[in-house]
Protein backbone atom coordinates (compact mmCIF):
# COMPACT_ATOMS: atom_id res chain seq x y z
CA UNK A 1 0.00 0.00 0.00
CA UNK A 2 1.29 3.45 -0.91
CA UNK A 3 2.49 5.64 1.93
CA UNK A 4 0.78 8.95 2.68
CA UNK A 5 3.73 10.75 1.11
CA UNK A 6 3.35 8.74 -2.10
CA UNK A 7 -0.39 9.36 -2.13
CA UNK A 8 0.10 13.10 -1.68
CA UNK A 9 2.71 13.20 -4.45
CA UNK A 10 0.26 11.39 -6.75
CA UNK A 11 -2.46 13.89 -5.81
CA UNK A 12 -0.17 16.81 -6.64
CA UNK A 13 0.62 15.21 -10.01
CA UNK A 14 -3.09 14.81 -10.66
CA UNK A 15 -4.17 18.32 -9.67
CA UNK A 16 -1.29 20.42 -11.03
CA UNK A 17 -2.67 20.29 -14.61
CA UNK A 18 -5.96 21.71 -13.30
CA UNK A 19 -4.21 24.84 -12.02
CA UNK A 20 -2.03 25.03 -15.12
CA UNK A 21 -5.16 25.04 -17.29
CA UNK A 22 -6.73 27.74 -15.11
CA UNK A 23 -3.68 30.00 -15.52
CA UNK A 24 -3.47 29.54 -19.28
CA UNK A 25 -7.19 30.19 -19.70
CA UNK A 26 -6.82 33.37 -17.65
CA UNK A 27 -4.08 34.62 -19.98
CA UNK A 28 -6.14 33.69 -23.05
CA UNK A 29 -9.08 35.60 -21.57
CA UNK A 30 -6.94 38.70 -21.05
CA UNK A 31 -5.62 38.50 -24.61
CA UNK A 32 -9.11 38.04 -26.06
CA UNK A 33 -10.33 41.26 -24.45
CA UNK A 34 -7.48 43.44 -25.73
CA UNK A 35 -8.43 46.09 -28.27
CA UNK A 36 -5.04 46.84 -29.82
CA UNK A 37 -6.09 50.28 -31.03
CA UNK A 38 -6.74 51.39 -27.44
CA UNK A 39 -3.28 50.23 -26.34
CA UNK A 40 -1.57 51.86 -29.33
CA UNK A 41 -3.34 55.20 -28.77
CA UNK A 42 -2.02 55.37 -25.23
CA UNK A 43 1.46 54.34 -26.29
CA UNK A 44 1.43 57.10 -28.89
CA UNK A 45 0.84 59.54 -26.03
CA UNK A 46 3.61 57.76 -24.10
CA UNK A 47 1.07 57.00 -21.40
CA UNK A 48 2.61 53.79 -20.04
CA UNK A 49 0.17 53.25 -17.19
CA UNK A 50 -2.75 54.01 -19.49
CA UNK A 51 -1.50 51.40 -21.96
CA UNK A 52 -1.20 48.83 -19.16
CA UNK A 53 -4.73 49.66 -18.02
CA UNK A 54 -5.93 49.06 -21.60
CA UNK A 55 -4.52 45.51 -21.39
CA UNK A 56 -7.11 44.79 -18.65
CA UNK A 57 -4.76 42.70 -16.50
CA UNK A 58 -7.26 42.50 -13.65
CA UNK A 59 -7.24 40.21 -10.60
CA UNK A 60 -10.70 39.02 -11.64
CA UNK A 61 -9.19 37.35 -14.70
CA UNK A 62 -7.19 35.06 -12.41
CA UNK A 63 -10.13 34.05 -10.18
CA UNK A 64 -10.20 30.50 -11.63
CA UNK A 65 -6.87 29.99 -9.86
CA UNK A 66 -8.69 30.50 -6.56
CA UNK A 67 -10.97 27.58 -7.33
CA UNK A 68 -7.96 25.45 -8.24
CA UNK A 69 -6.37 26.30 -4.88
CA UNK A 70 -9.55 25.38 -3.03
CA UNK A 71 -9.77 22.10 -4.93
CA UNK A 72 -6.17 21.17 -4.11
CA UNK A 73 -6.53 22.22 -0.48
CA UNK A 74 -9.73 20.23 0.03
CA UNK A 75 -8.41 17.14 -1.74
CA UNK A 76 -5.24 17.24 0.35
CA UNK A 77 -7.19 17.54 3.58
CA UNK A 78 -9.51 14.67 2.69
CA UNK A 79 -6.56 12.43 1.85
CA UNK A 80 -4.71 13.22 5.06
CA UNK A 81 -7.87 12.69 7.12
CA UNK A 82 -8.31 9.28 5.50
CA UNK A 83 -4.77 8.35 6.54
CA UNK A 84 -4.88 10.00 9.97
CA UNK A 85 -3.50 7.83 12.78
CA UNK A 86 -6.01 6.62 15.36
CA UNK A 87 -7.08 9.51 17.55
CA UNK A 88 -8.00 9.23 21.20
CA UNK A 89 -9.15 11.75 23.77
CA UNK A 90 -7.13 12.32 26.99
CA UNK A 91 -8.95 9.40 28.64
CA UNK A 92 -8.16 7.02 25.79
CA UNK A 93 -11.61 7.13 24.20
CA UNK A 94 -11.84 6.80 20.41
CA UNK A 95 -12.27 10.05 18.51
CA UNK A 96 -13.96 10.21 15.11
CA UNK A 97 -12.29 12.83 12.91
CA UNK A 98 -13.65 14.22 9.65
CA UNK A 99 -11.94 16.84 7.51
CA UNK A 100 -13.72 20.20 7.56
CA UNK A 101 -12.77 22.49 4.68
CA UNK A 102 -15.31 25.06 5.95
CA UNK A 103 -13.56 25.33 9.29
CA UNK A 104 -12.97 29.04 9.96
CA UNK A 105 -9.20 28.57 10.04
CA UNK A 106 -9.26 26.52 6.82
CA UNK A 107 -11.31 29.16 5.04
CA UNK A 108 -8.85 31.83 6.14
CA UNK A 109 -5.93 29.78 4.78
CA UNK A 110 -7.66 29.46 1.39
CA UNK A 111 -8.52 33.18 1.24
CA UNK A 112 -4.99 34.27 2.10
CA UNK A 113 -3.37 31.80 -0.32
CA UNK A 114 -5.66 32.86 -3.17
CA UNK A 115 -5.25 36.57 -2.49
CA UNK A 116 -1.47 36.35 -2.25
CA UNK A 117 -1.10 34.38 -5.46
CA UNK A 118 -3.53 36.45 -7.53
CA UNK A 119 -1.97 39.73 -6.35
CA UNK A 120 1.50 38.42 -7.19
CA UNK A 121 0.55 37.14 -10.64
CA UNK A 122 -1.39 40.30 -11.51
CA UNK A 123 1.34 42.70 -10.44
CA UNK A 124 4.10 40.57 -11.98
CA UNK A 125 2.25 40.55 -15.32
CA UNK A 126 1.81 44.33 -15.21
CA UNK A 127 5.48 44.81 -14.36
CA UNK A 128 6.53 42.67 -17.32
CA UNK A 129 4.39 44.82 -19.64
CA UNK A 130 5.79 48.00 -18.10
CA UNK A 131 9.39 46.87 -18.65
CA UNK A 132 8.65 45.84 -22.24
CA UNK A 133 7.09 49.21 -23.03
CA UNK A 134 10.01 51.12 -21.54
CA UNK A 135 12.50 48.93 -23.42
CA UNK A 136 10.57 49.46 -26.64
CA UNK A 137 10.66 53.22 -26.26
CA UNK A 138 14.41 53.03 -25.54
CA UNK A 139 14.97 51.09 -28.77
CA UNK A 140 12.91 53.56 -30.77
CA UNK A 141 10.22 51.02 -31.58
CA UNK A 142 6.79 52.20 -32.67
CA UNK A 143 3.66 51.86 -30.53
CA UNK A 144 2.13 49.22 -32.81
CA UNK A 145 5.21 46.99 -32.59
CA UNK A 146 5.37 47.30 -28.81
CA UNK A 147 1.66 46.54 -28.43
CA UNK A 148 1.82 43.48 -30.71
CA UNK A 149 4.89 42.12 -28.96
CA UNK A 150 3.05 42.26 -25.65
CA UNK A 151 -0.41 41.13 -26.74
CA UNK A 152 0.55 38.73 -29.53
CA UNK A 153 -0.60 38.65 -33.13
CA UNK A 154 -4.00 37.40 -34.27
CA UNK A 155 -3.93 34.09 -36.11
CA UNK A 156 -6.16 34.64 -39.16
CA UNK A 157 -7.29 31.02 -39.08
CA UNK A 158 -8.21 30.69 -35.40
CA UNK A 159 -8.91 34.36 -34.67
CA UNK A 160 -6.92 34.06 -31.46
CA UNK A 161 -3.82 35.96 -30.43
CA UNK A 162 -0.65 33.89 -30.47
CA UNK A 163 2.82 34.60 -29.16
CA UNK A 164 3.01 37.75 -27.10
CA UNK A 165 4.66 38.24 -23.75
CA UNK A 166 1.57 38.23 -21.53
CA UNK A 167 1.74 35.43 -19.01
CA UNK A 168 5.49 35.21 -18.59
CA UNK A 169 7.88 36.75 -16.10
CA UNK A 170 9.99 39.80 -16.90
CA UNK A 171 13.07 37.59 -17.12
CA UNK A 172 11.47 35.25 -19.65
CA UNK A 173 10.14 38.22 -21.61
CA UNK A 174 13.65 39.66 -21.83
CA UNK A 175 14.92 36.33 -23.17
CA UNK A 176 12.30 36.42 -25.93
CA UNK A 177 13.11 40.03 -26.78
CA UNK A 178 16.85 39.35 -26.87
CA UNK A 179 16.22 36.47 -29.25
CA UNK A 180 14.01 38.67 -31.43
CA UNK A 181 16.64 41.41 -31.57
CA UNK A 182 19.44 38.96 -32.45
CA UNK A 183 17.46 37.20 -35.18
CA UNK A 184 16.33 40.47 -36.77
CA UNK A 185 19.79 42.06 -36.65
CA UNK A 186 21.86 39.04 -37.68
CA UNK A 187 23.85 39.14 -34.43
CA UNK A 188 25.72 35.83 -34.68
CA UNK A 189 26.44 35.46 -30.97
CA UNK A 190 22.86 36.26 -30.11
CA UNK A 191 21.57 33.71 -32.61
CA UNK A 192 23.96 31.10 -31.23
CA UNK A 193 22.59 31.81 -27.78
CA UNK A 194 19.06 31.31 -29.09
CA UNK A 195 20.05 27.78 -30.14
CA UNK A 196 20.92 26.99 -26.51
CA UNK A 197 17.43 27.78 -25.21
CA UNK A 198 15.81 24.56 -24.07
CA UNK A 199 12.27 25.81 -24.76
CA UNK A 200 12.90 26.84 -28.37
CA UNK A 201 11.06 25.10 -31.23
CA UNK A 202 13.82 23.00 -32.77
CA UNK A 203 12.02 22.88 -36.11
CA UNK A 204 13.46 26.34 -36.78
CA UNK A 205 17.05 25.38 -35.88
CA UNK A 206 18.14 24.68 -39.46
CA UNK A 207 16.88 28.08 -40.58
CA UNK A 208 18.68 29.85 -37.72
CA UNK A 209 21.89 27.84 -38.29
CA UNK A 210 21.88 28.89 -41.96
CA UNK A 211 21.55 32.56 -40.95
CA UNK A 212 24.50 32.11 -38.57
CA UNK A 213 26.69 30.60 -41.30
CA UNK A 214 25.82 33.41 -43.69
CA UNK A 215 25.99 36.12 -41.04
CA UNK A 216 22.62 37.46 -42.16
CA UNK A 217 19.43 38.40 -40.30
CA UNK A 218 16.27 36.37 -40.72
CA UNK A 219 13.18 37.81 -42.45
CA UNK A 220 10.76 39.56 -40.13
CA UNK A 221 7.95 37.07 -40.77
CA UNK A 222 10.25 34.16 -39.86
CA UNK A 223 11.37 35.92 -36.68
CA UNK A 224 7.75 36.50 -35.71
CA UNK A 225 7.04 32.76 -36.01
CA UNK A 226 10.20 31.72 -34.16
CA UNK A 227 9.79 34.11 -31.24
CA UNK A 228 6.05 33.53 -31.16
CA UNK A 229 6.62 29.84 -30.56
CA UNK A 230 9.25 30.61 -27.95
CA UNK A 231 6.85 32.99 -26.18
CA UNK A 232 4.05 30.42 -26.17
CA UNK A 233 6.36 27.82 -24.65
CA UNK A 234 7.54 30.24 -21.98
CA UNK A 235 3.94 30.99 -21.04
CA UNK A 236 3.45 27.23 -20.77
CA UNK A 237 6.56 26.99 -18.57
CA UNK A 238 5.24 29.76 -16.31
CA UNK A 239 1.88 28.03 -16.09
CA UNK A 240 3.53 24.74 -15.16
CA UNK A 241 5.76 26.38 -12.56
CA UNK A 242 2.88 28.23 -10.91
CA UNK A 243 0.66 25.14 -11.01
CA UNK A 244 3.19 22.80 -9.47
CA UNK A 245 4.30 25.27 -6.80
CA UNK A 246 0.81 26.40 -5.76
CA UNK A 247 -0.72 22.92 -5.86
CA UNK A 248 2.07 21.56 -3.69
CA UNK A 249 1.77 24.47 -1.28
CA UNK A 250 -2.02 24.01 -1.04
CA UNK A 251 -1.75 20.28 -0.37
CA UNK A 252 0.90 20.76 2.33
CA UNK A 253 -1.09 23.58 3.92
CA UNK A 254 -4.08 21.23 4.01
CA UNK A 255 -1.94 18.50 5.58
CA UNK A 256 -0.86 20.89 8.33
CA UNK A 257 -4.43 22.05 8.89
CA UNK A 258 -5.77 18.48 8.94
CA UNK A 259 -3.40 17.53 11.75
CA UNK A 260 -4.35 20.68 13.61
CA UNK A 261 -8.03 19.82 13.22
CA UNK A 262 -7.26 16.32 14.49
CA UNK A 263 -5.66 17.77 17.60
CA UNK A 264 -8.61 20.09 18.13
CA UNK A 265 -11.08 17.26 17.74
CA UNK A 266 -9.19 15.04 20.20
CA UNK A 267 -8.77 17.88 22.69
CA UNK A 268 -5.02 17.35 22.65
CA UNK A 269 -2.09 19.68 23.14
CA UNK A 270 0.09 20.38 20.09
CA UNK A 271 3.12 19.55 22.23
CA UNK A 272 2.29 15.89 21.56
CA UNK A 273 3.17 16.37 17.88
CA UNK A 274 6.64 16.21 16.38
CA UNK A 275 7.36 17.27 12.81
CA UNK A 276 10.34 16.13 10.75
CA UNK A 277 11.44 17.68 7.43
CA UNK A 278 12.12 15.17 4.67
CA UNK A 279 13.69 15.98 1.31
CA UNK A 280 13.47 13.70 -1.72
CA UNK A 281 17.19 13.08 -1.34
CA UNK A 282 18.21 13.32 -4.98
CA UNK A 283 20.56 15.69 -6.78
CA UNK A 284 17.79 18.14 -7.65
CA UNK A 285 17.08 19.10 -4.03
CA UNK A 286 18.11 22.69 -3.27
CA UNK A 287 21.02 22.79 -0.84
CA UNK A 288 19.04 24.63 1.82
CA UNK A 289 16.49 21.82 1.94
CA UNK A 290 19.21 19.19 1.95
CA UNK A 291 20.42 20.86 5.13
CA UNK A 292 16.90 20.89 6.58
CA UNK A 293 16.24 17.22 5.89
CA UNK A 294 15.93 15.31 9.15
CA UNK A 295 15.38 18.39 11.31
CA UNK A 296 12.69 17.75 13.92
CA UNK A 297 10.50 20.18 15.83
CA UNK A 298 7.86 19.84 18.52
CA UNK A 299 4.40 21.34 18.18
CA UNK A 300 2.56 22.78 15.18
CA UNK A 301 3.61 26.42 15.08
CA UNK A 302 7.39 26.49 15.44
CA UNK A 303 8.83 26.95 11.93
CA UNK A 304 11.77 25.20 10.36
CA UNK A 305 14.61 27.62 9.64
CA UNK A 306 16.43 27.26 6.35
CA UNK A 307 20.15 28.08 6.19
CA UNK A 308 19.05 31.07 4.12
CA UNK A 309 17.16 32.36 7.14
CA UNK A 310 13.74 31.62 5.65
CA UNK A 311 11.08 30.28 8.01
CA UNK A 312 8.62 27.59 6.90
CA UNK A 313 6.18 25.51 8.94
CA UNK A 314 5.90 23.11 5.98
CA UNK A 315 7.06 22.99 2.31
CA UNK A 316 5.54 25.79 0.28
CA UNK A 317 4.69 27.91 3.34
CA UNK A 318 5.05 31.62 2.53
CA UNK A 319 3.09 32.93 5.52
CA UNK A 320 6.31 33.76 7.41
CA UNK A 321 7.99 35.48 4.47
CA UNK A 322 9.80 32.64 2.68
CA UNK A 323 10.56 33.70 -0.88
CA UNK A 324 10.52 32.03 -4.27
CA UNK A 325 14.02 30.58 -3.84
CA UNK A 326 12.67 28.35 -1.04
CA UNK A 327 9.34 27.53 -2.63
CA UNK A 328 9.42 27.03 -6.40
CA UNK A 329 9.76 23.41 -7.45
CA UNK A 330 10.06 22.13 -3.86
CA UNK A 331 9.28 18.40 -3.52
CA UNK A 332 9.92 18.03 0.22
CA UNK A 333 7.48 16.73 2.81
CA UNK A 334 7.02 17.04 6.55
CA UNK A 335 6.26 13.97 8.65
CA UNK A 336 3.80 14.48 11.51
CA UNK A 337 3.93 12.09 14.47
CA UNK A 338 1.41 11.93 17.32
CA UNK A 339 2.69 10.61 20.63
CA UNK A 340 -0.75 9.99 22.10
CA UNK A 341 0.00 6.51 23.45
CA UNK A 342 2.90 7.69 25.59
CA UNK A 343 0.92 10.61 26.95
CA UNK A 344 -2.00 8.35 27.83
CA UNK A 345 0.31 5.94 29.64
CA UNK A 346 1.76 8.82 31.64
CA UNK A 347 -1.69 10.07 32.61
CA UNK A 348 -2.75 6.59 33.78
CA UNK A 349 0.37 6.25 35.91
CA UNK A 350 -0.25 9.44 37.85
State the pTM of this model. Answer: 0.89
Determine the pLDDT at residue 36: 95
pLDDT value, residue 344: 41
pLDDT at residue 88 in the model: 82
Strands (E), the chain: 87-88, 94-95, 153-154, 161-162, 273-278, 296-298, 304-305, 311-312, 333-338
* pLDDT value, residue 60: 93
* Cα–Cα dist 293/139, whole Å: 48
- Running along the chain, 350 residues long, what does each successive block of 10 average in pLDDT? 92 96 94 95 97 95 94 97 87 89 96 94 95 94 94 88 92 95 95 97 97 95 94 95 96 96 91 93 93 95 95 95 93 87 45
Cα first-last separation, the chain:
39
User: Per DSSP, which regions of 79-231 are E strands?
Assistant: 87-88, 94-95, 153-154, 161-162
DSSP string, 211-227: HHHHT-PPPHHHHHHHH
Give the closest residue to 208 by CA, choosing from 186, 230, 229, 224: 186
How much is the pLDDT for 347? 45
- Output the pLDDT for position 340: 55
Cβ–Cβ < 8 Å for 15, 154: no
For the chain, give the number of residues.
350
Amino acid sequence: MATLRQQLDALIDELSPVMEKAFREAIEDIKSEIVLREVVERLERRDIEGAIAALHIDPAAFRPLSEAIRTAFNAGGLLVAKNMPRLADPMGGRVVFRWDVQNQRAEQIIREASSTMITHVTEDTKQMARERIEAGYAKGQGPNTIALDIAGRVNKVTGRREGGLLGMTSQLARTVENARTALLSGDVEGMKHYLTLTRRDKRFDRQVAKAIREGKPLPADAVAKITGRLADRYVQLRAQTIARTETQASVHAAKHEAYQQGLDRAGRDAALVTRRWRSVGDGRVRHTHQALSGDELAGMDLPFQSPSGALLRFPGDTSLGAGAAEIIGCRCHVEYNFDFAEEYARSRGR
